[in-house]
C-alpha cells in the first residue's frame, strides 16, 4: 500500500515533527510505502540530520522524503494531508481524475476539547471535484484517533529506566556525568516566557540542587538576561547558587525521549513534545502554542480538565497553579513550591495516565480507518 503524507511547515517543529513520526511509524511498523512531502526540508533536517535540505528526493529511515515543489502528481492509495494543508493543485486534479478516488484524510491538530468527538471521522466533500476528505483527530479519548506511540516505546522506556549504563550513556552524550541522586533534574523546552525568571530564582535558592537541561531556542534570550550575558551557547553550563543550567543542542527526534526519561520534571510545548512528555510518565508542564485572541487558553483549559479529572484536589491545584502561571507569563516561581510538594502524587498519576493513553494508538487507528474508507470506495466503484 502506498501512502503519501503532505506537510506544510507553519513554524517551529511541531507540524513536521508529527508528520515525521507518523511517516516513520507507518513505514517501519506497518509496512506501508511512505512518501513524506515537505515544503521546508531545513526544519525536517533538525529532527533528522541525515536529511539533506538540498535534495529533492531521498530515502531516510525507511521513508521517501520529497520536496513539496517536486510533486508531479502520481497519486498514492492513501493520501494524508496534515493540519488542513492544501494539496498541490496538480496532485489534487490527478486524484480527481482516477476511476476510483484514493483514500483522502486530513490529520488534524491535537485537542482535548469535546467538539473533537463529533468531528472525528466526518467526511467533507470537495466543493467542485468528485473527492471526499475525511477528518481524523488525534485525542485523549476512545472517540478520537488516539495518540502516536511506537510499538516498542514502552520497552525502550523501561530499558532506559532500569539500566544505569543507558542512563550514563545519555549523560555522556550530552557531555555530562550522571548527576547524583539528590539532584532534581528538569528539562525545559519552551517558547519565550516571562515566567522563567521567577522559576530560575526559586530553583537557585532551593534546598536541593537543581539541574535544568534547556533545549536551545528562543528561551535562551531570556536565560542570557538572567545570567547577565550577551548570549548563551549550546554545550555550555551556567551556574547560579543551587541551580545549574546546561544548554542542549537540538537532538534528533528519536533521542528527544531520552531527555524526558532522564529528568524528573519536564517542561514541554506545542503538540508533539506534549505527547512524548505524557508517555515519559513524569510530571510535566505544558506551554501551549500561543494563538491570536487567546483561543489557546480554551484549549489549555480543556486539557487541564481532562488531565486532572482523577487527580486529588491538592495535587490538581498545584499543577493548575504552575501551568497557568507558566502559560500566562505569571508568577511561576511562587507556584513552584506547591508543585514540588505534589511531585510524588503527580509522578504516580503521570504513570497511570501514560498506561491508560497507550491503549488508543493513532497509527493503528489511522490504518484501520483508511482501510475502511478504501473498502467503501471499492464497493462504490463496483456498484
CA distance 131 to 22: 24
Is 14 one of the binding residues for ligand TRH (CB under 6 A)? yes
**DSSP conformation class of 269:** E
Is 189 one of the binding residues for ligand TRH (CB under 6 A)? yes
- Closest separation between CB of residue 169 and ligand TRH, Å? 17
User: How far is CA 342 from each of CA 197, 263, 303, 321, rounded to the nearest angstrom?
Assistant: 22, 16, 19, 12
Residue with cell 478516488: 101
Is 321 one of the binding residues for ligand TRH (CB under 6 A)? no
Is 256 one of the binding residues for ligand TRH (CB under 6 A)? yes
Question: Catalytic annotation on 368?
Answer: no
Is 349 one of the binding residues for ligand TRH (CB under 6 A)? no
Kindly give, in sequence order, each residue whose CB lies less than 8 Å from that of residue 181, ignoring residues fewer than 6 positions away: none
User: How far is CA 237 from each of CA 196, 227, 267, 352, rounded to the nearest angstrom?
Assistant: 17, 11, 19, 34
Identified catalytic residue from 39, 257, 258, 271: 271
Is 251 one of the binding residues for ligand TRH (CB under 6 A)? yes
| Nearer CB in complex with ligand TRH: 45/273 | 273
Is 270 one of the binding residues for ligand TRH (CB under 6 A)? yes
Q: Are 138 and 145 in contact (CB under 8 A)?
A: yes
Identified catalytic residue from 15, 257, 258, 272: 15
Is 111 one of the binding residues for ligand TRH (CB under 6 A)? no
Parallel, antiparallel, or unpaired: how do β-strands 123-125 and 132-136 relate?
antiparallel
For the chain, the straight-line distance linking the first and the last C-alpha, in angstroms and rounded, comes to 23
**DSSP conformation class of 29:** T
Is 295 one of the binding residues for ligand TRH (CB under 6 A)? no
| Nearer CB in complex with ligand TRH: 189/353 | 189
Question: 126: buried, middle or exposed (CB in 10 Å: 19+, 13-18, 0-12)?
Answer: middle
Question: Catalytic annotation on 271?
Answer: yes
Give the per-residue contact string, 148-177, with ligand TRH (x = CB under 6 A; - = no): ------------------------------
Binding positions for ligand TRH, rule: CB under 6 A: 10-15, 17, 47, 109, 189, 215, 250-251, 253, 256, 269-273, 289
Residues annotated as part of the active site: 15, 271
Amino acid at each position: 500500500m502506498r501512502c503519501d503524507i503532505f506537510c506544510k511547515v507553519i513554524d517551529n517543529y511541531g507540524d513536521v515533527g508529527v508528520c515525521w513520526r507518523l511517516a516513520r511509524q507507518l513505514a517501519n511498523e506497518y509496512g506501508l510505502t511512505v512518501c513524506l512531502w515537505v515544503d521546508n526540508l531545513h526544519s525536517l533536517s533538525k529532527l533528522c540530520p541525515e536529511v539533506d535540505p538540498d535534495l529533492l528526493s531521498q530515502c531516510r529511515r525507511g521513508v521517501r522524503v520529497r520536496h513539496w515543489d517536486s510533486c508531479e502528481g502520481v497519486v498514492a492509495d492513501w493520501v494524508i494531508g496534515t493540519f488542513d494543508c492544501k494539496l498541490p493543485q496538480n496532485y489534487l486534479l490527478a486524484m480527481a481524475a482516477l476511476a476510483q478516488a484514493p483514500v483522502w484524510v486530513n490529520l488534524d491538530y491535537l485537542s482535548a476539547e469535546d467538539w473533537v468527538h463529533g468531528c472525528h471521522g466526518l467526511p467533507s466533500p470537495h466543493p467542485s471535484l468528485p473527492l471526499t476528505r475525511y477528518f481524523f483527530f488525534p485525542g485523549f479519548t476512545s472517540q478520537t484517533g488516539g495518540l502516536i506511540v511506537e510499538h516498542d516505546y514502552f520497552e525502550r522506556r523501561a530499558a532506559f529506566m532500569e539500566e544505569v549504563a543507558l542512563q550514563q550513556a545519555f549523560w555522556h552524550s550530552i557531555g555530562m556525568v550522571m548527576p547524583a541522586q539528590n539532584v532534581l533534574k528538569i528539562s525545559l523546552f519552551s517558547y519565550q516566557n516571562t515566567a522563567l525568571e521567577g522559576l530560575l530564582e526559586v530553583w537557585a535558592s532551593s534546598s536541593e540542587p537543581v539541574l535544568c537541561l534547556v533545549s536551545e531556542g528562543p528561551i535562551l534570550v531570556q536565560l542570557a538576561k538572567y545570567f547577565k550575558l550577551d548570549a548563551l551557547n549550546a554545550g555550555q553550563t551556567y551556574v547560579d547558587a543551587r541551580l545549574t543550567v546546561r544548554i542542549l543542542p537540538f537532538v534528533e527526534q528519536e533521542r528527544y525521549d531520552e531527555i524526558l526519561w532522564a529528568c524528573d520534571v519536564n517542561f514541554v510545548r506545542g503538540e508533539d513534545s506534549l505527547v512524548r512528555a505524557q508517555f515519559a510518565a513524569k510530571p510535566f508542564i505544558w506551554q501551549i502554542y500561543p494563538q491570536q485572541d487567546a483561543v489557546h487558553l480554551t484549549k489549555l483549559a480543556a486539557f487541564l480538565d481532562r488531565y486532572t479529572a482523577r487527580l486529588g484536589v491538592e495535587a490538581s491545584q498545584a499543577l493548575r497553579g504552575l501551568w497557568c502561571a507558566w502559560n500566562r507569563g505569571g508568577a511561576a516561581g511562587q507556584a513552584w513550591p506547591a508543585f514540588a510538594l505534589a511531585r510524588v502524587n503527580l509522578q504516580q498519576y503521570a504513570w497511570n495516565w501514560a498506561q491508560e493513553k497507550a491503549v488508543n494508538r493513532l497509527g493503528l487507528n489511522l490504518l484501520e480507518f483508511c482501510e475502511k474508507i478504501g473498502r467503501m470506495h471499492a464497493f462504490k466503484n463496483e456498484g
